[in-house]
Amino acid sequence: MTRSATAKLGAYAALAGAGLLAALVLGRPEVAALAAPFAVLLVAGLSPARPPEVHAKLELDAERQVEGETVTAYLEVHAITAVERLELLLDLPEGIETTAPNPQLLSLHAGERRELEYELRCAHWGAYLLGQVILRAQDRFALLVYEQTLDLSRPLKVYPRGEALHRLLRPFETQAFAGSQPPRTRGDGIEFADLRPFVPGDRVRRVNWRATARRGEPWVNETHPERSTDVVIFLDTFAEARTGATGTLDLAVEAAASLASHYIAEKDRVGLVAFGGVLNWLTVSTGVTQLYRVLDSLLDAEIFLSYAWKDIDILPSRTLPPHALVIALSPLLDERSVGALADLRARGFDLAVVEISPVPFVRPGGGELDDLAHRLWLLRRDALRSSYLQLGVPVVEWRHGMPLQAALEEVRTFRRHARVTRV
Amino acid sequence: MLAAAGLALATGLREGHEVFLLGVGTAALFALLGGLALRWSAAVAVGVALLGGQQCLRLALGSDELDDWTPAIAATLLLVAELAWWSLEPRVRTWAEPGSAARRLATVVLSCAGGSFVAALVLIAADTHIGGGVFLELAGVAAAAVALALVAWVARTRVG
Cβ–Cβ gap A29/B126 under 8 Å? yes
Asked if A80 contacts A135 with a C-beta cutoff of 8 angstroms, the reply is: no
Instruction: Tell me the mean pLDDT in the region A320-328.
Output: 88
CA nearest neighbour of A30 among B66, B5, B19, B54: B66
Position A396 in a domain: yes
CB contact under 8 A, B150 and A43: yes
Q: Are residues A267 and A124 in the same domain?
A: no
Q: Which of residues 33-62 of A touch B (CB under 8 A)?
A: 33-44, 46-47, 49
Highest-confidence segment of A344-353, B18-27, B89-98: A344-353
The percent of residues above 70 in pLDDT, for chain A, comes to: 97
Answer whether residue A385 is part of any domain. yes
Domain match, A106 and A138 both: yes
Instruction: Please report the pLDDT score of residue B55 as a whole number.
Output: 82
Residue A169 lies in a domain: no
- Give the integer Cα–Cα distance in Å for B95 and A101: 7
pLDDT band (50, 70, 90) for residue A421:
very low
**Helix (H), strand (E) counts: chain A:** 8, 22
Q: Is residue A375 part of a domain?
A: yes
For residue B140, how many C-alpha atoms fall within 13 Å in the half-sphere facing its CB? 20
Q: Where are the beta strands (DSSP E) in A176-317?
A: 178-181, 191-197, 219-224, 227, 230-237, 242-243, 246-247, 269-276, 280-285
Short-list A310, A368, A319, CA closest to A343: A310
> Which residues of chain A does B121 touch, with a Cβ-Cβ cutoff of 8 Å?
36
Q: How many domains does chain A have?
A: 4
Pair (A206, A310) in one structural domain:
no
**DSSP string covering A90-158, please?**
EEPPTTEEE-S-SSEEEEE-TT-EEEEEEEEEE-S-EEEEEEEEEEEEE-TTS-EEEEEEEEEEEEEEE
Beta partners for residue A320, in sequence order:
none
Q: Tell me the average pLDDT across A47-68.
A: 85
Q: Are A258 and A306 found together in one domain?
A: yes
In this complex, do A37 and B151 lie within 8 Å of one another by their Cβ atoms?
no
Average of per-residue pLDDT values in chain A:
85
- A366 and A291 share a domain? yes
| Per-residue pLDDT at B130 exceeds 60 | yes
- On whether both A371 and A247 belong to a single domain, the answer is yes
Least confident of A48-52, A418-422, B4-8, B103-107: A418-422
Confidence of residue A84 (pLDDT cuts 50, 70, 90): confident
User: CB within 8 A of A21, min separation 6: which ones?
Assistant: B144
Q: What is the pLDDT of residue A279?
A: 82
Question: What is the band of A420 on the pLDDT scale with cuts at 50, 70, 90?
Answer: very low
Q: Is the dihedral of CA A122, A123, A129, A135 positive or negative?
A: negative
Distance from CA of B29 to the nearest CA of A (A): 17
CB contact under 8 A, A22 and B56: yes
Is the Cβ–Cβ distance between A193 and A152 less than 8 Å?
no
A284, A321 in Cβ contact below 8 A? Answer: yes
Phi and psi dihedrals of A353, rounded to 5? -110, 120
Task: Say yes or no: A114 and A6 in one domain.
Answer: no
Chain B residues lying within 8 Å of A15, measured CB to CB:
45, 48-49, 52, 81
Q: For residues A164 and A257, what is the distance between their CA atoms, to the nearest angstrom?
A: 11
Neighbour-count burial of B92, counting CB atoms closer than 10 A to its CB (0-12 exposed, 13-18 middle, 19+ buried) = buried
Per-position b or e across A203-225, b if 16+ CB within 10 A of its CB: eeeeebeebbeeeeebbbebbbb
In this structure, are residues A304 and A237 in contact, taking their beta carbons and an 8 Å threshold? Answer: yes
- A22 and A71 belong to one structural domain: no
Mean pLDDT of A69-90: 88
Report for A30-39, B8-17, B56-65: range of highest mean pLDDT:
A30-39
Is A104 in contact with B95 (Cβ distance < 8 A)?
yes
Domain-embedded: residue A381: yes
Triad A252, A254, A255: Cα angle to 5°: 65
Distance CA A180, CA A267 (A): 7
Euclidean distance between CA atoms A38 and B75, whole angstroms:
10
More confidently predicted of B136 and A76: A76
Q: Tell me: pLDDT of A197 over 90.
A: yes
Q: Is residue A166 part of a domain?
A: no
CA distance B79 to B76: 5
Exposure class string for A154-184: b at 16+ Cβ within 10 A, else e: eebbbbbebeebeebbbbebbbeeebebbbe
Closest-CA distance, A258 to chain B, in angstroms, reads 41
What digits encode the pLDDT tens for the residues A241-270?
888 778 888 899 989 999 999 999 888 899
- Burial (CB count <10 Å: 0-12, 13-18, 19+), residue A351: buried
CA distance A142 to chain B (A): 9
Report CA torsion sign: B16, B82, B84, B50.
positive
Determine the residue type at A343.
Answer: D
Bond before A103 cis per omega within 30 degrees: yes
Domain holding A154, by residue range, is: 54-159
Q: Which of A140, A159, A178 is the last residue of a domain?
A: A159
Q: What angle do CA B71, B72, B77 make, to 5 degrees?
A: 95
Q: What is the pTM of this model?
A: 0.67
Report the C-alpha gap between B11 and B7 in whole angstroms: 6
pLDDT of amino acid A422: 45
Residues in B closer than 8 angstroms to A145, CB to CB, are: none
Q: Decide: A56 and A75 in contact? Cβ < 8 Å.
A: yes
Query: What does the pLDDT read at residue B16?
Result: 60
Partners of residue A47 in chain B, C-beta under 8 Å = 154
User: Are residues A153 and A260 located together in one domain of the fold?
Assistant: no
Q: Is it the case that residue A217 has pLDDT exceeding 90?
A: yes
pLDDT reported for residue A211? 93
Higher pLDDT, A155 or A24: A155
> Between A and B, how many residue pairs show a Cβ–Cβ distance under 8 A?
167
User: Do A203 and A336 lie in a common domain?
Assistant: no
Nearest CB neighbour to A31, from listed B59, B93, B141:
B59
> Could you tell me the CATH number of the domain that includes residue A68?
2.60.40.10
* A287 and A400 together in one domain: yes
Q: What is the domain-level CATH number for residue A300?
A: 3.40.50
A385 Cβ neighbours under 8 A, 6+ residues apart = A355, A395, A397
Is A190 a domain residue? no
Mean pLDDT of the region A220-242:
87
The verdict on residue A423 lying in a domain is no
Check whether residue A104 and residue A203 sit in a common domain: no
DSSP state of A230: E
Mean pLDDT within B140-151: 72
| β-strands A113-122, A70-79 pairing | antiparallel
pLDDT, residue A212, reads 93
Which of A175, A207, A224 is at the close of a domain? Answer: A224
A14–B67 CB contact, under 8 Å: no
Interface predicted TM-score (ipTM) over 0.90: no
Q: Which of B48, B118, B126 sits opposite A40 (nearest CB)?
A: B118
CA distance A84 to chain B (A): 9
